[in-house]
A = this chain, B = another copy of it.
Amino acid sequence: MASYYVGVDVGGMTIKLGFFSDTGELLEKWNIPTDVSDDGKHILTDIVDSIEEKRESYPGNIAGIGMGIPGPMTDDGVVLKCANFGWGVFNVKNALAGLTGVGNVKVGNDANVAALGEMWKGGGRGYDSIVMVTLGTGCGGGIIYNGKVLTGSKGAGGEIGHIKVERNETERCGCGNRGCLEQYASAVGIVRMAERDLPESSCLYGGEITAKAVFDGAKAGDAYCVEIVERFGRYLGTALSDVAHVVDPEVFVIGGGVSAAGQIILDVVKKYYDENAMYALKDTKFRLAELGNDAGIYGAVRMVLFK
């Protein structure tokens, strides 16, 4: 009888699901909406119903289910805070195992799970100690050390978006502090930097300011855009050098919507990383992520497919 593995990536708006073969091949992926009503109590049952429906096309045994959740988690599968869904503290791993009857269930923080996916089949292929940086609306981090997710004692391992990088910031970060990396190294952060003191001479002036427009402007040689990209690179490159002095990964993998700008990101981040990292850390590699929105379902399955 064939064995299948299911990867689930729970987001604030959409839940991504994928059926994988027992050799780790993605057979089919699909989405369902995230129903956050009633304090998110329908989320798990919606997932289970959707898997049940899909398994009709895949006669056989579901040998494991992995899931990524946005929020801190313990290694035991207890979700500690998932404000987006209104979930309280509970053991989501046991709940999912109970609902499905599948014993091999693992749940992790979504950024860590995406990092595992990129290590397995993406930009971190061939390495087993990676730091993944997700530059989306915010700045997420996931750390894999010797092949295992570094969760941290309070589920806050790899929360690199909240490393303090600017002592003189006046605006507050979403976390309540000031000067967090996320305030500069994220789509929102890049726009925020670009909107301050925008000169009429810049190509950005009068148009819609997006992270993409800033990187496009820099590629075209617009001096103001170059300056913003340099600031972005200085904050992120310096912070990643801090991270390297702690966990010394083999490779940094940079993903998220902002990373679509491509090589310019790696170049400017590596430039400031090299300026700040000690000699022993100079050889650390920098790669772009490769799996896009599928990193989460890949990583989720990776948790349950190999022990």
Q: Give residues in A with beta carbon < 8 Å to B.
A: 72, 80-81, 129, 143, 145, 150-160, 162-164, 175-177, 180, 238-239, 241-250, 275-276, 278-281, 283-284
A238 CB contacts on chain B under 8 angstroms: 164
Main secondary structure of the interface of A (DSSP, over half): loop
A248 CB contacts on chain B under 8 angstroms: 151-157, 159
**Contact present for A160 and B245 (CB under 8 Å):** yes
> Can you list 18 A-B contacts with CB-CB less than 8 angstroms, sorted by A residue number?
A72-B280, A81-B280, A145-B145, A145-B150, A152-B247, A153-B249, A156-B244, A158-B245, A158-B246, A160-B245, A163-B241, A163-B242, A164-B241, A164-B276, A177-B276, A242-B242, A243-B246, A246-B246
In the assembled complex, the Cα of A144 lies from the Cα of B112 at a distance in Å of 20
Query: What residue of chain B has the Cβ atom nearest to residue A160's Cβ?
Result: B245
A72 CB contacts on chain B under 8 angstroms: 280
In the assembled complex, the Cα of A44 lies from the Cα of B164 at a distance in Å of 44
Shortest CB-to-CB span from A285 to chain B, Å, is: 10
In the assembled complex, the Cα of A143 lies from the Cα of B249 at a distance in Å of 14
In the assembled complex, the Cα of A248 lies from the Cα of B151 at a distance in Å of 8
In the assembled complex, the Cα of A241 lies from the Cα of B164 at a distance in Å of 8
**Contact present for A246 and B157 (CB under 8 Å):** yes
Q: Which of A151, A176, A177, A280 has the most CB of B within 10 A?
A: A280
Contact of A245 among B80, B145, B159, B249 (CB under 8 A): B159
Contact of A159 among B145, B278, B284 (CB under 8 A): B278
Known A-B contacts A145-B150, A153-B129, A242-B242; A279 and B176 likewise in contact (beta carbons under 8 Å): yes
